[in-house]
Amino acid sequence: MEMTAERLVATVGELPPVPDVAAKVMRMISDPDVSAKALQDVIMTDPSMTVNILKIANSALFGVKREVKTLTHAIMLMGFSAIRGVVLALATKKIFDRSQGFKHQLLWKNAISAASVSRFIAEQLIDHSKEEAFISGLLHNIGRVVMLKKFGDEYGELMERAYNDGAELNELELQKYGFSHSEVNYFILEKWNLHENMVNASRYYWQPEKAPDFCAKLAAVVGISVQFNASQGVGIYREGESKFEPSENYLQVLGCSPEQMNSVLALLWEKLATDQEMLSGL
């Protein structure tokens, strides 16, 4: 039977669901009446997650003058949206960490960079929430993790070709398997019951002009973050030109001029360094 992206996700067998604590937190934060105390009680059942949230709350990202010692304080300081993003990031990191291979670590570097860049650009340019952009960027290559697990060295060789020869990995995937990791993203995020904005942004980020109208700008933001990764040699990408210029199709979808985008990118560097220092330490 021919393999498809949907069948791959259904049969891979190694992809865990979103861990229970993360799933509960995501559901709870959707309730406008949820309290910080209720969130604390759930998060504290996962000691590793608790430690990491306190670590982030005390990082330079939040600029606190006094040590944050309690989870309730951390939740109030960071806000519910940030907590949801961090909880999902921690859950996602566990998936990347299930294999300690070098390629998985490179994919994680791509994920955290795309999350940071997407969040920042979204805040500057579009109406979608920073949280949606962060999560969409974070999960934009989760399909590659699954393909690497399923196809092993065969897929690893495609990654090496893309790195060494400058070939487009999406195109290599299509040629080899008849589908790309972005299609795999779609079915994974559907399986996790994430919002359709993020599900579709992860599917269409490299072709935002084909995305449904309601998420096209979010997809374009993620696509720009991935292009930024490539220009800077982050993770699976060989470093190219340090000067970064987003593709015209992304700018058209965003309704953004090159000058506007350059102004946004000029503000990016300091924020990016802070975010990635935080996320790399998870």
> What confidence tens digit (pLDDT) does each residue in 31-51 have?
889 998 999 999 999 888 898
Which pLDDT does position 280 carry in this prediction? Answer: 58
Pairwise CA distance, residues 192 & 213, whole Å: 22
CA distance readout (Å), 14 to 49, 77, 97, 98, 163: 22, 36, 13, 10, 26
pLDDT band at 275 (very low <50, low <70, confident <90, very high): low
Q: What is the pLDDT of residue 244?
A: 77
The residue count of the chain comes to 282
Band of residue 176 on the pLDDT scale cut at 50, 70, 90: very high
pLDDT at 207: 93
CB 114 within 8 A of CB 222: yes
Q: Taking Cα atoms as reference points, which of 98, 68, 74 lies closest to residue 86?
A: 74
The two structure tokens encoding residue 234: 């982050």
Most confident of 19-28, 58-67, 269-278: 19-28
* Per-residue pLDDT band at 120 (split at 50, 70, 90): confident
Q: If you average pLDDT over residues 140-159, what whole number do you get?
A: 90
Give the contacts of 21 (CB within 8 A, at least 6 positions apart).
42, 43, 45, 46, 49, 87, 91
User: Can you tell me the distance from the alpha carbon of 239 to that of 154, in angstroms, rounded to the nearest whole number?
Assistant: 24
Using CA atoms, how far residue 165 sits from 184, 226, 245, 271, in Å, is 24, 18, 21, 31
From residue 145, how far is each of 102, 119, 152, 166, 266 by CA, in Å?
Answer: 12, 22, 10, 20, 32
For residues 34 and 70, give the distance between their C-alpha atoms in angstroms, rounded to a whole number. Answer: 18
User: Model pTM?
Assistant: 0.81
**Beta carbons of 128 and 218 less than 8 angstroms apart:** yes
| Domains along the sequence of the chain with CATH | 17-97 (no CATH), 99-282 (1.10.3210.10)
Cβ atoms of residues 129 and 168 within 8 Å = no
Work out the pLDDT band at 1, boundaries 50, 70, 90: low
- Name the helix (H) or strand (E) containing 188: helix 181-191
Asked if residues 57 and 78 have their Cβ atoms less than 8 Å apart, the reply is yes
**How sure is the predictor about 236, in pLDDT bands with cuts at 50, 70 and 90?**
low
Average pLDDT, the chain: 83
